Structure 1
Amino acid sequence: MKNFHNEEIYIKKDNFSDNIFKENRVFFDIETTGFSPVRSIVYMIGCARRVKNRIVIDQYFAESTSDEAALITAFADNIKGCDALICFNGAGFDIPFLRAKCQKFDIPDPFAGKNIIDIFKEISPLKPLLGLENYKQKTIENFLGIEREDKYTGGELINVYYEYLASPSGDKLHLLQTHNYEDVLGMTELLSVLSYKEVLCGISDITDISISPYTSYDGKPKKELIISFANKYTVPKPVSIHDNDFYINIAPSKTSVRIEIFEGELKHFYSDYKNYYYLPKEDMAIHKSVAAYVDNQYRERCKAYNCYVRKSGEFIIQHELIMQPEFRNDVKDRHSYFLLTDDFINEKQMVISYVKHIIHHLFKL
């Protein structure tokens, strides 16, 4: 088994990454000859840790298939004492693979009691926001402007490893080592992409609320509610997302949410419709205690679809019950609206709850 030890100068790029990349945390990545731990081997494991102003990278390489147990043991010794492991899709692949190997070689589970931070898993809810073609590590590195020497995928290097076993050479070893080295080092720079999630989950104050007029695509004058808040951390680059109801723009230091204001008439439906009567002439429902004073020919027992009162005004949409009373076009509508009032606009906690509801609707965070 070969051991490689290298050090890089640690350069603080942003507060978010700096807070995560602490000295008691280790990044790791494995290289294997396939997906199955039964039919494949792990031939390289890379680890990166921070020691003051240095990034220390250790790599363990199997010069033969018989080195596999020693490789895993060296890795297990490396991560002793750390309180968290950081990986990319490690929860889905690397950790189950290594645990199966530990069981085979009767090596104690090195992951027991460790906190796992899986970058891939953490950013999965953000796929609609980032809009990348895929979420491989190199794709996210390109999004962040991270450059690397290595041009190969792990799958492409499997044959290179077998060629090395048959005929060892420095060139082949350089390809294998560089790929793993840059995967581990790249992860340390990948942390900033998690700041988007922290921004969306860490809203604590609203900096501005305004109503702005605009012209729709069909030329109609409309209004929108714009809610802004300061980002908890600076994000790497601007991104945005929208659906039919909401538009979110995350700039480096500020995020804004835009919601179209519906102006017109909507209906508030009473759920206990059996206690109401519908007045066809007035197109409204009244409680049975009041309907008792109305002649039978001017009233009828309510059904769910006509047990309502009508309201005109300015409304904004909600996909779960945030504000009451709620209004709809039809009783079967899955979403509802609530009146946009000064009380709502001036109560920041209400606005924060509403923004959090929007984020949950878009990202399930």
Structure 2
Amino acid sequence: MKTWQNEIPFNKDNPITEILFSESSVFFDIETTGFSAKHTHVYLIGCAARKGNVVCTTQFFAENPSEEKLILNAFSALLTHYNTLITFNGIGFDIPYLQERFQHYKLLDPFCNFQYLDIFKSLSKYKNILKLENLKQKTIEHFLGLQREDMYSGGELINVYDSYVNSPSEDALNLLRLHNYEDVTGMIDLLPILSYVQLFEGNFEVTGFEKCSYEEYEGSHALELHLNLNTTFPLPKRFSFGFQDIYLTGFQNQVKLKVKIYQGELKYFYSNYKDYYYLPEEDMAVHKSVAFYVDKNYRTRAKAATCYSKKTGCFLPQYAEIFEPYFKLEYHDKVLYFEMTEDFTDSPEAQKKYSLHLLKYLLNAKL
């Protein structure tokens, strides 16, 4: 078994990195000879831990399959010094794979009682938002503008390892070591991408808003509400995303959230329609206590779709029952609207609540 150790400076350019990568956490990544833990084995485990302003890396390498148990024991001993594991798809692959290998050798499972941060899993909903082709580590590195020397994938290096086992060489060893080393240290540099996750989880403040007019495609004039957000953690790369009447842009600590304002008439639907009558001439519903005084020829029992009153004004869309009362264009419409009153424009709390609602809607948008 070979063990390699190295030290590099800790980069604290983004505050989220310092918060998430504490001295009680450890990154790790594994290299295996295949996906099935029953029929393949792990040959390299790389780790990175922090001591003050220094990142200490440790890699355990099995020079042949018979040394797999040695690197598992060495890795297990290292984990005893930490309480948080940080991985890239570790929950989906690395940890289950290693658990099966530990069981194969009848070794104690070392993964009990840990907290977990899986970068891949944390980003699982953000592929469309960030316009990523996929969620592979190298794709995210490219998005962040990170460079690496290693040009191989883990799968491509299986044959390199097999060749090394049969005929050890420094060239093969360096390729195997470099790939794992850059996977591990590269995860540290990926942490700033979680600033986008923090934004969508509500780590921002609304610093202002404005009504802006714009010209639509057909030439008519419309209004937008622009909400200015200040993020807790800076966004490392500029991004933009739009869906329906909502558009989002952001970079560093500044984010702008735009949403179209509906101007005109909307309907408020009463829930207890059996207590109302519909007046076709007036196109509105009135309570039966009032309808009693209306000629029977000018009234009809209300249905759910005709039990409404109407209001004209400026309204904002919402996609769940966030603010009340809410209005609709028609009864079966799924988009709800609330009136843009002073209760909203004078309340930073209401503006943040609405901003978070829109962000959640964008995150779950079906493109």
Give the TM-score normalised by the residue count of structure 1: 0.98
**Which structure has greater strand proportion?**
2
Residue 292 of structure 1: how far off its partner (Å): 1.1
1:66 and 2:74 equivalent? no
Query: In structure 2, what residue type is equivalent to 1:114?
Result: F
> CA offsets, 1:54-95, max 9 Å, x none?
111110111111111111111111111201010000000000
- Equivalent pair of 2:48/2:56 in contact (CA under 8 Å): yes
Give 1:364 deviation, angstroms.
Answer: 4.9
Q: Which residue of 1 aligns with 2:83?
A: 83
Query: Matches of 1:5 and 1:153 in 2, distance apart?
Result: 22
User: Which region of structure 1 is more displaced relative to structure 2, 307-316 or 178-187?
Assistant: 307-316
C-alpha distance after superposition, 1:239-276 (max 9, x if no partner): 11110021111221111111101111111111211111
- What are structure 1's unaligned runs of at least 5 residues? none
Separation (CA, whole Å) in 2 of partners of 1:217 and 1:42:
58
Per-residue deviation, residues 154-205 of structure 1 (Å, max 9, x unmatched): 0111111111111111111111110000000100111000011112323453
Aligned partner letter, 2:246? F
Q: 2:264 — aligned with what?
A: 264
Amino acid aligned to 1:351: Q
Q: Which residue does 1:213 correspond to in 2? A: 213
Matches within 5 A, 1:189-268: 189-203=189-203, 205-268=205-268
Does structure 2 retain, via aligned residues, the 8 Å contact 1:203–1:229?
no
Asked if the contact 1:132/1:139 (under 8 Å) is kept, the reply is yes
Q: Which residue of the partner structure matches residue 92 of structure 2?
A: 92
Distance 1:232 1:203 in 2: 6
Structure 1 vs Structure 2 CA RMSD: 1.2
Distance 2:113 2:343 in 1: 48
Are 2:314 and 1:292 equivalent residues in the alignment? Answer: no
Aligned AA (1:212) = C
For residues 210-257 of structure 1, what are the alpha-carbon distances to aligned partners after superposition, in whole Å with 9 as ceiling and x for unaligned? 111111122111110111121101111111111002111122111111
Q: Distance in 1 between matches of 2:320 and 2:314?
A: 18
1:231 counterpart SS class: strand
Give the Cα–Cα distance (whole angstroms) in 2 for the partners of residues 128 and 355 of structure 1.
19
Report the 3-state secondary structure (helix = DSSP H, G, I; strand = E; otherwise coil) of the residue aligned with 1:315: strand
Letter in 1 for 2:157: L
The number of residues matched between the two structures is 365
Q: Distance in 1 between matches of 2:92 and 2:317?
A: 37
Mapped to 1, the partners of 2:115 and 2:206 lie a distance apart of 33
Deviation at 1:46, TM superposition (A): 0.2
Per the alignment, in what secondary structure is the counterpart of residue 184 of structure 1?
Answer: helix
Matched residues in 1 for 2:243 and 2:124: separation? 18
Instruction: Name the CA distance, whole Å, in 1 between partners of 2:204 and 2:12.
Output: 25
Q: Which residue of 2 aligns with 1:27?
A: 27
Alpha-carbon distance in structure 2 between the residues aligned to 1:217 and 1:82: 57
Contact 1:305 1:330 in 2 (8 A): yes
Q: Supply the AA of the counterpart residue of 1:160.
A: V
1 CA distance for matches of 2:305 and 2:5? 72
1:198 match: secondary structure: helix
CA contact (8 A) 1:141 1:190 kept: yes
Q: What is the letter of the counterpart of residue 132 of structure 1?
A: L
In structure 2, C-alpha distance between the alignment counterparts of 1:166 and 1:93, rounded to whole Å = 27
Aligned equivalents of 1:77, 1:229: Cα separation in 2 = 45
Alignment of 1:76-155 (within 5 A): 76-155=76-155
| Distance of 1:110 and 1:184 partners within structure 2 | 19
Secondary structure of the residue aligned to 1:149 is: coil
Distance in 2 (alpha carbons) for counterparts of 1:253 and 1:285: 49
Change (3 A) 1:155 1:25: same
Instruction: Work out whether residues 85 and 116 of structure 1, in 8 Å CA contact, stay in contact via their aligned partners in 2.
Output: yes
Query: 1:140 & 1:13 partners in 2: Cα distance?
Result: 18
Tell me which residue corresponds to 1:8.
Answer: 8
Tell me, what secondary structure is at the counterpart of 1:168?
Answer: coil
Q: Is 2:199–2:231's contact at 8 Å kept on the other side of the alignment?
A: yes
- Deviation string 1:328-357 (CA, Å, 9 cap, x unpaired) is 111111121111112211111111111111
Q: Deviations over 1:129-172 (max 9, x none)?
A: 21111110011111111111100000111111111111111111
Q: Is the 8 A contact 2:62 2:71 kept in 1?
A: yes
Q: Which residue of 1 aligns with 2:275?
A: 275
Q: Which moved more, 1:5-14 or 1:350-359?
A: 5-14
Q: Which amino acid aligns with 2:347?
A: E
Q: How far, CA to CA, are the matches of 1:79 and 1:244 in structure 2?
A: 48
- How far apart, in 2, do the equivalents of 1:11 and 1:328 lie? 51
- SS of 2:128's equivalent in the other structure is helix
